[in-house]
Each structure stands twice: as structure tokens, then as C-alpha cells.
Structure 1
């Protein structure tokens, strides 16, 4: 384990857009935003190589970062605002409100840590990463009938002569991964003075999101059943023991996925079984990881879990191409649906576990392709079941966002980490930085489980060769 590092705050302030550049705006939450009120903030970290001193960073790089962030926020100004929640007595719909003078929390820190350790793939203590994550409120006590919760915070940490980390905390209720990706790429482009820049400005027209099934009312009722009338809270934090937890990254290459696919096809032909209907790289990688994790649970305590227990696999499905009507790619907000696949534990850990996993994940994706809102009235209830189960796997992120193309002027990120998976018991997915067509898988597990997972992962890929 790497030596513990020290961290000190150099600066804590705010960043605002240029004066009079963003109009005061109120954005009501759509039915696609409301379910995210049940999730805690996302916490991505972007690490970049940077071979200059702290003084050079403070005098030359930091002013440009602040200025370019200010310009980016001019276009993505809802991130400056607050989520406004109301007490139960009001029974009003939550909304995002941006007022003139609103700003984003922006802090600067310095770490003595080994940048190479932070950006490696091997198991590292999760606590080393927390100083790099900016603080963001998840609750507030209402003084009247309203509660205000900020949506975004940023922290930039310098590792002198080694690197920079840009850390975010943001409430997913404001925007999906596509929207947030557009925002950080806009900021990076302005910082690097490059020509990326989004094709057009964000669209804030909430009327494009149609609600033919009355899901907004269903979700709001579920929300107010759970929220206190005095303390306004976002997210449902699951208690997870972090005392001995480590995080690691695994890469599933395109060759690995092709071998997994061939193994599935071969097994199905051998046994005269129907072929899974959808064997995309996403399905193949997720199926392999899911089976490895089930084997870990079985090895740790095989008597604790019943062979008949349902195991859940939760994921997010993009809505831009699945809804029955067009939504602009620059739409600011959430345009995603929720998927939950279920398989019996004994089948997942059996000889054909990966076929079982590929079937249930692929079948659910195909159902969402046809009708993304099918069963949507149970999204919140289904995900509560998932969160409450110890035998679940939830996916955070997507390998389709090309996060490793986010260049602030120092080249591509050396590493990207999703810190929020520590407490949500999720795994993160991103495109591989160095392996073309590969998928990076981020996990946070107790040390003994991570060792077991590593063994199953490596041995599982060897068998496929």
C-alpha cells in the first residue's frame, strides 16, 4: 500500500460567469430528472500529467482555468444554480433556479501524494482519494417551506512537478452524463484554446420531454413519501464500511470481448440453446464482470447467500435514440431511462453463468430499445429493491462518452476515477485510454474481495485464450 499523503487547501472561492451574460432562469424538473433525487452526487476525478511547480501552476495555469470555467458556465449556467425543494406541506414540484450572482464553489489544493499511484490500476486505499473531491451539500434545513441545494462544486489539486487533478461533485438531477460531458469538454476546449467547442449552445426547452403516462405525478408521490418536511435531502446514502476498502481498475480489451462472445456462441451451439439476442461489447464486458463478482461473493461466504436468491444488475439507458420523438443532443437535463435485469444466483455462478448474464442484460436492453418507458412507473421502486440488496451490481458511467478526449491543454487525462462508486457499490465504465476498443472497469471492494476478484478476472480471461 502506498504511503499516506498530505493535502492542504491553498484557496477556496467561487467562480461566476461574466457579468450579465446569463439570464435568471427557472427550470422545472421533468419526470426524467426526478428519479435522480434518490441518488447521491457523482464524483468524477480527472488526472493529468503536469510537470511544473506549484508556483507556476498558481501564477500561470490557475487563472486560465478559472477564466475558461467562467466562460463555460456562461453557456451551462444552470450548474451555477440551486435545486429548490419544498416541504411536504407545499407539495410543489422541485425545480432548478439560477439567479444573477450565483456561483460555483471552486477550491484549490496541493497534495504530497505519489501521482503515479493515484493514476495506476492496482488496488489503492479509497481514503487517499477523498481530499481530491470537492464538498457539495446533499441536504439543507428549510428555514421556511423551501430548501436550496447547490448543484456543482469543483476542486483542482496540484501534485508539484507531477500532475493535476480536476475533481467534480455534481447532482445528477441537474444533468445526465451526456450533458455533463458537453460541459467539461466546453471548459477544457476554452482552457486549451482549441477548436472542439460544442456545435451549438445547450437547449433548455423542457417542453420537448413528453410525459404520456403521467410519470411525473407518480414519481413526485414516491418522492414526498420519503422526504422529511424539515430537512431537504437528496440521495439515499447506503451505509458501506469503507475502513478496509480499496479501488482498482481492470481493462477488458476488444480481444477479450471477442473471446467471451465466441465462448458464449460455442456453448450455446454445444448445448442446443438459443443464442443471446444482443452481444454488444457493453453486454459482454458487463456479463463477465457480473459473473466474477458473484463468484467473489460465493467464495467469501457461500453459506450466507441462497442459490435461489435473485441477483440484480442495474444500468442507465440513453433516451435520445429511444424516445418516440426527437430530443436535441444539446438538451440540458436528463434524457435517460433505467434498466434492471434479474438472474438467479445459482445460475450466475454455474458453468453457464456468463450466458445467463448476457441473456438477461441483452434482453432488457432490447426491450428498452423498443419502449424505453415500459415499466417506468416502477423505476423508483425497482431501484430501491436493487439498492437494498447486497447481491446487486449497478453501472455508473458509459464507455460511449469519450471522457479521455477531455484535454485542458495538457494532453489526454492520465486516469479517470469515479469516487462515488465507493458508497453506491457500483462499478464505473469508461472507454479505455490505452487499449483501442477496450473498456475500463473501476471497482471499489474490501481488500480481501478485491484480491479474490482479481484472481477470478485474470483466470477467467486465461480460460478464454
Structure 2
């Protein structure tokens, strides 16, 4: 698939800091919920907005407010302007912010001649078409005492003259999970919409301010020690595994977004609720919007793989082969986590569901999927702490299988409410799902109760997925 011809020109690169003297020099320790994310690629998101003005108008009128509001917001979310300090073993990594030490967020301003409407489309298009709008984190450096220093966040703002603007964000997952980072974006957009007024409600409402205190974490089972072993192996292997990623992805991959209407989801939930009656249990499964969407997407991913490649590469993908589904559980409000909802950092537990291929590929396989996911969701209500403390062992089992689907994002983030003063976003994309094994879930832009699901697959497999999804929706 030939990419359309267009130009992306860098206009300026600036560095935005919190107001001078507003944040003291601070060191934040990392815990067992942060450390496993060292091996993760940066989280990358794109927010597209309508902006029917010239580039010069943006630079003169919008950019100063965008920079000023970012500076004010970083006063509360200072870890994003800080550095990840990664010493060799047996020392521990930490986040370090230096007042007056030049800690800042790089903000690149660019201009593009690309077709804005193509970029925000839902239909399949070349997955690489969005890559020019994703910021790159600055390279790591090495301090004089042998500590590797990693930047945490970068921003790229691209103007499509007289059409739109894209705000691209990249951040290191070690510093913040999706809930924390979207809290930052929501605050920044609110301050920007108020023309950068320090009196913005988000900056003055104590109930909305991020909490950085790590003292609330109890570690009776030595989880931090186990997580540190993982980190020490990671940092010791830097030269082999952690240099700049040059992974070559298949050229025929396409990105598409599927919008499930509220009426479709209601019907799917009703049908699954009726059918999900496990004869071994007296209690009927509760099928939520999330569970229903996960179930149909998991089944369609498996079937699309079967349609495109019916025989696995090792020749042993039979009915007893286990397939896995992974979703992240925000533990801030779960039993055992005495943390406020505004805690800034990582507070996720892995919800891992597995089922045999033979049970998922039958005509009512979606019911098996829904029952398994619903059961895990219920278990995580009280067992999230235990799952989080198990570290990476179950994840390693899942990844070794070669048959897994993961979910990124959440409709609870309400990302389409992020208004920088230009109205609601026209489209939002998560670029870190480009590996093809993940789905992104966000709420529908156009109607309450709907869902948007984005994914990246090879062209042939995307065709198979589209067909399978249409058949499954029709069946319900």
C-alpha cells in the first residue's frame, strides 16, 4: 500500500518547565507496580482537533496559551518533566526532579500537508501514516557516576493549515499509567481552555490534584525485592535489548477503528446475559459493556487469525491450545489499595483470562469468552492486590503462548472530553498498539453508551476481522 505524498516540517522546538521555584527538588521512589514497566515501549497517543486557521495564527494566538498552560500544569504533574534515574545493581531506580536544574518537557511544533480527513478516518489505512505526528522521547544519557538518565515525556503539536491540529504525546509508562496520564491531559486541556488562567478549577481544586506520596504502599510479601530483580536484569541488559528500537513491522499493516453503537451494545449485553448461565453456578454472570465488547473482539481476533493463517507456524495449534485475553485493572478503588483516585503513578493489576481454542471457536464461543472474562472481572474486585503482587510470572506465560490479545485504554478515561479550547477532539488514536496484538478501547465520540475499538493488523487479516465482526453482530 503506497503512502500518500506529504510534507511534515519542523517549525520550532522548545522546552517547557514548571514555573521557577514552584516545585522543590524531589525524589520519588519506584515500587513493584512501577518497576515491571521498564521493559515497556513508550505510551503514545494522538489527539486530533478541528482548527480552521493558518499556521501563523496558531503560533501567534494558540501556542503561547498552550505553552503557558502546560507550564502551570507541570507544577502539579512535575514527574512528567523529571528524569528516570537508572543506576546499576544493587542500587534502586527513582524519579528525580531538580528545581532550577533544567528539568522540562520538549515540545516540538510542526506543520503538515497531509490529508487531515484521511488521518482521522475509521476505515483501514496505512498504519505508518500516523507515525510522523508522534513525538520521540529524547535519548538517554549517562551521568558521571554511571547512572543512566531517561527522559519521561515529550509533546509534538502539528498544524494542518486551515484544517486542524494534532497534539501528540509520548511518555514512559514507569512514571504513570493510563489513568494518571489522562488525568494530566484533562488538567492541561482545562487550564488551556481557560486561557492559561492560574485560577483554573483543576489547579485549585484539592480533590483533583495528583497525589505523589508513595508511603501508602505496604509490602509485606517482599514484592519490591522481586520487582527490583527484574529491573536489575533489565538495566544490566541495556546494550543488548534497550537501545533505540528499530523493529521492522510488516509493510502491509493497516489501522482501523470500529464503532459499536449504543443499541448494538445493549442488544449484545442482553443476549449474552441470557446465555451466560453456567450450569455449575447458581449465580448468573453480570455482563457489562466492557465485558460484552471484550468478548466479541476477542472472538473476532481469534477467528481472523484462523481465517488468515489456519495452521500455526509450529503446527500444534489444536483445539486444546490456550488463548489469552489481557486487560488492566485500575486498583486505586480496589480492596487492599488504600490510595486516592488521584494517585499519580502506576496502580494496575493484570486481568488475565484464558480458554481453550476449541471452546472459543464453536458457534457460541462468545458465550465462553464472556463467562471467562466476567469471572475474572469479579475476581479482581477483591483479588486485584494479589494479582498485582504476582509480578510478571503469569504475563510471561501468556506472552510465551503466542496467542494473546490485550486491551489498552478505557472508556472511563472520557478522552473525548479533552477540550483545549478548540472543541472536542475529532479523533483519538493510541499508537503503541501498532504491534498488532492489542486493541484500544475508548468511548464513542458521537453517542453515549457507544464504544470505539481501534486495532492494527495485516491487510488480509483486517479484512477477515471486519467480516467476522459483522457476522457476530448480525447474529445478535
SS in 1 for 2:20: coil
Alignment partner, residue 349 of structure 2: 337
Cα distance in 2 between the residues matched to 1:229 and 1:87: 11
Alignment partner of 1:385 is 2:397 = yes
Cα displacement (A) at 1:134: 0.4
Cα displacement (A) at 1:435: 2.2
- 1:344-389 Cα deviation digits (max 9, x unpaired): 1121111121111112211111111112122444331222233344
Alignment partner, residue 290 of structure 1: 298
C-alpha contact (below 8 Å) 1:139/1:231 kept by paired residues: no
Tell me whether 217-226 or 155-164 shows the greater mean CA deviation.
217-226
Cα distance in 2 between the residues matched to 1:424 and 1:231: 26
* Structure 1 residues 188 and 298: CA distance shift in structure 2, 3 A: same
* Structure 1 residues 279 and 51: CA distance shift in structure 2, 3 A: same
What's the Cα RMSD here?
2.3
Cα distance in 2 between the residues matched to 1:140 and 1:423: 27
Query: Structure 2 stretches of 5 or more lacking a match?
Result: none
Matches within 5 A, 1:409-424: 409-423=421-435
Alignment partner of 1:130 is 2:138 = no
* Structure 1 residues 149 and 268: CA distance shift in structure 2, 3 A: closer
Cα distance in 1 between the residues matched to 2:19 and 2:230: 39
C-alpha contact (below 8 Å) 2:122/2:258 kept by paired residues: yes
Cα distance in 1 between the residues matched to 2:463 and 2:407: 21
Alignment partner of 1:218 is 2:226 = yes
- 1:15-60 Cα deviation digits (max 9, x unpaired): 1111111111100002211122221110010000000011111111
Aligned counterpart in structure 2 of residue 438 of structure 1, from 447, 450, 460: 450
Alignment partner, residue 29 of structure 2: 28
Alignment partner of 1:245 is 2:253 = yes
TM-score, structure 2 length as denominator?
A: 0.91
Matches within 5 A, 1:95-114: 95-100=94-99, 101-114=102-115
Cα displacement (A) at 1:227: 3.4
SS in 2 for 1:326: coil
Alignment partner, residue 159 of structure 2: 158
SS in 2 for 1:205: coil
Alignment partner, residue 197 of structure 1: 202
* Structure 1 residues 359 and 235: CA distance shift in structure 2, 3 A: farther
* Structure 1 residues 23 and 444: CA distance shift in structure 2, 3 A: same
- 1:315-366 Cα deviation digits (max 9, x unpaired): 1101111132531222221122111111111211111211111122111111
* Structure 1 residues 432 and 273: CA distance shift in structure 2, 3 A: farther
Cα distance in 1 between the residues matched to 2:397 and 2:327: 14
Alignment partner, residue 85 of structure 1: 86
SS in 2 for 1:294: helix
Matches within 5 A, 1:344-355: 344-355=356-367
SS in 1 for 2:180: helix
Alignment partner, residue 168 of structure 1: 169
C-alpha contact (below 8 Å) 2:32/2:389 kept by paired residues: no
Alignment partner, residue 450 of structure 1: 462
Query: Structure 1 stretches of 5 or more lacking a match?
Result: none
Alignment partner, residue 15 of structure 2: 14
C-alpha contact (below 8 Å) 1:276/1:359 kept by paired residues: no
Give the number of aligned pairs.
461
Cα distance in 2 between the residues matched to 1:382 and 1:140: 33
Cα distance in 1 between the residues matched to 2:139 and 2:399: 18
